[in-house]
Amino acid sequence: MNAKFLSMVGLGLALVVAQTHAVMARTNTIFILDGSNSMWGRVDGVPKIDLAQRLLGDLLGNVPGDMRVGLVSYGHKRKADCNDITLLSPIGTGDPASWKRQLRSVVPKGKTPIAKSLEMAAKQFTDPNDDNNIVLISDGVATCPPDPCAVAAELASRDIKVRIHVVGYDVKPEERKELQCIAEATGGRYFRAGDTEGLRNALAQASNIPTPEPAVAIAQPEPPPDALHVVIDKSQLIRLTRDAKVVMVANPDIADVVIENSRMIFLIGRSPGETNLFALDDKGNEIIQTPVVVVPNPVREVTIYRQGSESTLSCMPRCAAVPTPDGTTRVQAGGGATDALGLAAATPGGG
């Protein structure tokens, strides 16, 4: 063999190796969904977390065959824990149905540890030949150290290159700078999403996944189911249609649950406010997801007739006597305890 022939053989082998690497290169995209407490805010009349879960879930049904997907979320398990970060679905695992289940398991509760979430997502990337991307969906700036912009710059300097695209979801103007910095530090892009249509388009552009045809429920969100109304310190029985594995209330300071069995739970009002009740089966499928409104004890009135006189008691929850223009005595909320002495004192003419 002459040198020219050997040189051509070597060049051919090099081209084969290069082409093999090109074929093996994969597109990896990890989505980080904000699960902090602020995601209970509303966009187009719907909780931000609900819209994000629906739109991202629909988008993931259109993932191209050559793209590997992963899911991360933060702030959805504990109220004040900067390490509250969960790898919901490792890169390259799961399918559209399981991704939707994982997304629906996110119940906003805590803080916003963006930097540590970026680090967790980046650990999923192992091949420097891959096209690695992170799509961060956040409705505000980080509330936990370290500085996410500095962390993004450090990730960009590694051998395994990572681009971070940020979807600023209903973000205040003064908070955009930090999120834009995260994207720019890695050569990524920042996308602004202020409403339903904006979020759908931003997710599609940031991930490079074709936008699915919008479902009617997304384009024109159906109103949420009627809220369960519970009175403070009262309970309401809820019967489920199938066995529940997980039952939880988003804000236990407002309402609590007592589980009698897998299909029977009692919802108890603790303090005035709004929250959500969730129940999932052993496969993570949703059994019930409904708003809960806890209200004060309603005004209760009772009329007492004694020795020809008339008194009306109105208690919520304690009573105080207030004279009325017609000469009778009305007992009004906010006074002393309602006991025998209190009723006698509230009744004209004594006992």
What is the rounded CA–CA span in Å between residue 183 and residue 164?
Answer: 5
Backbone angles phi, psi at 129, to 5 degrees: -85, -15
CA distances from 45 to 105, 109, 140, 215, 315 (A): 21, 20, 19, 17, 35
Asked whether the domain spanning 228-295 has the same topology as the one spanning 24-219, the reply is no
Question: Which residue's structure tokens are 């909780």?
Answer: 47
243: nearest Cα among 265, 226, 227: 265
Q: Which amino acid is at 176?
A: R
Stretches where the chain sits below pLDDT 50 are 5-6, 9, 16-22, 215-225, 299-301, 314, 316-351
Torsion angle, alpha carbons of 167, 88, 114, 154, to 10: -100
Residues paired with residue 304 on neighbouring β-strands, in sequence order: 311
Q: Which pLDDT value is given to residue 172?
A: 92
Question: Is the Cβ–Cβ distance between 266 and 235 less than 8 Å?
Answer: yes
| pLDDT the model gives residue 334 | 40
Residue 22 has a pLDDT of 46
How far is 203 from 33, CA to CA, in rounded Å?
A: 11
pLDDT, position 97: 94
**What region, left, alpha or beta, does residue 149 occupy, with left being phi > 0 and alpha being psi -120 to 50 degrees?**
alpha
Give the per-residue pLDDT at 3. 56
> What is the spatial distance between Cα 324 and Cα 310, in angstroms, rounded to a whole number?
11
Q: How far apart are CA 76 and CA 110, in angstroms?
A: 6
User: Which of 333, 330, 329, 297 has its CA nearest to residue 318?
Assistant: 333
CB-based contact 231:296 (threshold 8 Å): yes
Distance (Å, rounded) from C-alpha 174 to C-alpha 38? 16
Q: What is the pLDDT of residue 325?
A: 43
Which homologous superfamily does the CATH classification assign to the domain defined by 24-219? von Willebrand factor, type A domain (3.40.50.410)
> In terms of Cα–Cα distance, which of 10, 51, 58 is closest to 34?
51
Q: What is the pLDDT of residues 68-118, one digit of tens each?
A: 999 999 999 999 999 999 999 999 999 999 999 999 999 999 999 999 999
Residues with Cβ < 8 Å from 346, sequence gap 6 or more?
311, 313, 319, 321, 329, 331
Quick one: which H or E segment has residue 137? strand 131-138
Residue with tokens 């956040």: 138
Say which amino acid occupies 302.
Answer: V
Whole-angstrom distance, CA of residue 187 vs CA of residue 181? 10
Q: Are 308 and 290 in contact (CB under 8 A)?
A: no
CA atoms within 13 A on the CB side of 114: 27
Of 2.60.40.1380, 2.30.29.30, 3.40.50.720, 1.25.40.10, the CATH number of 228-295 is 2.60.40.1380
What pLDDT sits at residue 336?
A: 36
How do the domains of the chain map onto residue ranges?
A: 24-219, 228-295, 300-346
Q: What is the pLDDT of residue 4?
A: 55
